[in-house]
Structure 1
Amino acid sequence: MTVTTQDIQRRLVALGYDLGKSGADGVFGRMTIAAIKKFQADKKLDIQYPGTVGPKTIAALGLDPAQGEALLPPWIAEALRKKGLHERLNNAALRAYLKSDGKALGDPAKLPWCGDFVETVIALALPKEPMIENPYWARNWLKFGVSVSIDRPVMGAIGVVERDTGGHVFFVIGHDKTYWHALGGNQSDSVSIVKILKSRTLGLRFPKTFAIPAKPLPLTAFSGTISTNEA
């Protein structure tokens, strides 16, 4: 068993912390982050990045601290909520989501929207994270946050790969010797998980306002589609 976001939310609710109408919905959103920050402050926990969850917070909540690193980063949980949205079949819902952070590039059926998706996810999950200029241009994400070694990738790293004269940006959720297992937008015209060649990699980045996992991602098997041109 691993500690889930819902486990944390249920414990917070039981301790009297407000998670809003949604309650323990499994989404590591703003209300949950705010409740965790208040809990950490109330308990006077020494946390480098308040609002994030590690062994100290897990233990203080009365849960199993050994399972703390099994939690998905909040932006990955947020991105997975939108998995399957298609730029034409679900155009209205996708456009509404891309605008939900207050700005958007435009119609995803007409414009490349991988950067727009990553920007929206980060803005909603990490509202205090400094944003790069023009996040809609994929290669600009090479200036985001802090650098992560390609040889030691971590869950939730933001990957940038070359594509023709431009690029493509996505979230790393796994890898094998040859491919990144990439969660992102504008992959087969939708929010999807695909395999992207590591040889195309320009760099990996990670948010400044969230603790980088201590352990790199292990090699895993994934039988998904191999992406060759994210357009």
Structure 2
Amino acid sequence: MPSKSKENIQLIQHELARKGFDPGVIDGIWGRRTEKAVRAYQASAGLLPDGIVGPITWRSLFGNDAVDDQFNSPAVPWFQEARRLIGIREKVGPGNEPTIINWAKSAGISYTDDDIAWCGLFAAHCVSATLADEPLPNNPLGARQWSNFGAPCEPCVGAILVFWRESRTSFKGHVGFYAGEESSGAYHLLGGNQSNAVSIARIARDRLLEARWPATAPMTGEKVLVTATQTMFSTNEA
């Protein structure tokens, strides 16, 4: 899944700065300061100040339509943050990966050991770092708690997918972001704590419990079919 996300965000940051709205460092990372600058620009342009660069805000900024590219769309900044972090891995043995621990600190979540399952923490970071007004679920470290997040939706690019783990009746679960689906048999999930890293895993469709969309973001995602692979299904993501 090659990414042009960084370039799109840099374009937005540069244009905001050019128009007098400070997004901070023009680094291609969608953070709170960029979101705040988008809100200020939207308010000045008579647009809904939701901090999301959807088609209307893009057209207002640039005078043309954005390229229709689900995977690189700035309208799903939490998904772009998730993509940026692919490859982050927990430390094996003593010690912790500072990036993972810092996610918890920034989101105000009590978490001190990356040996503790962190798929929910990863989802919480991606949402809280890019959507200032979006409430996190109670106990976001609990994967199944994400079944109460936002609003229900159909599985689509950027949607939060919640799966059961070990059994449907177990309290255990897994959570991540929809990154496509095969025509039969599997979702591709961009998530944390998948083989101890941020990665994309194949997860059987029959494990899906819920698909959810942030309540403060316009619904923009669509179903995307991806090429089936021979990779084995992920069965235990902790």
2:18 equivalent among 10, 14, 19: 14
Structure 2 stretches lacking a partner, 5+ long: none
- Quick check: 2:163–2:174 contact (8 Å CA) kept in 1? yes
1:146-188 deviations in Å (ceiling 9; x for gaps): 0012xxx221100011101211111112111221111111100
Q: Which residue of 2 aligns with 1:113?
A: 118
Q: CA deviation at 1:66?
A: 4.6
Moved more, 10-19 or 100-109: 100-109
Q: CA deviation at 1:81?
A: 2.4
1:23-73 deviations in Å (ceiling 9; x for gaps): 2x111211111111111111112x2x6211122211111242253664141
User: 4+ runs of 1 displaced by more than 6 Å?
Assistant: none
Find the aligned partners of 2:85 and 2:147 in 1 and give their Cα distance. Answer: 24
Q: Which residue of 1 aligns with 2:149?
A: 144
Structure 1 stretches lacking a partner, 5+ long: none
TM-score normalised to structure 1 length = 0.87
2:97 equivalent among 79, 91, 94: 91
TM-score normalised to structure 2 length = 0.85
Find the aligned partners of 1:140 and 1:218 in 2 and give their Cα distance. Answer: 26
The change in CA–CA distance for 1:68 and 1:7 in structure 2 (over 3 A counts) is farther
State the number of aligned residues: 222
SS across alignment from 1:100: helix
Name the Cα RMSD after superposition: 2.2
Q: Which residue of 1 aligns with 2:67?
A: 67
Find the aligned partners of 1:170 and 1:229 in 2 and give their Cα distance. Answer: 14
Indicate yes or no: 2:157 matched with 1:168.
no
Find the aligned partners of 1:101 and 1:44 in 2 and give their Cα distance. Answer: 31
- Quick check: 2:153–2:213 contact (8 Å CA) kept in 1? yes
Q: Which residue of 2 aligns with 1:212?
A: 219
Moved more, 127-136 or 85-94: 85-94
- Quick check: 1:98–1:116 contact (8 Å CA) kept in 2? yes
Find the aligned partners of 1:6 and 1:66 in 2 and give their Cα distance. Answer: 14
SS across alignment from 2:104: helix
1:35 equivalent among 25, 34, 37: 37
Q: Percent identity?
A: 37
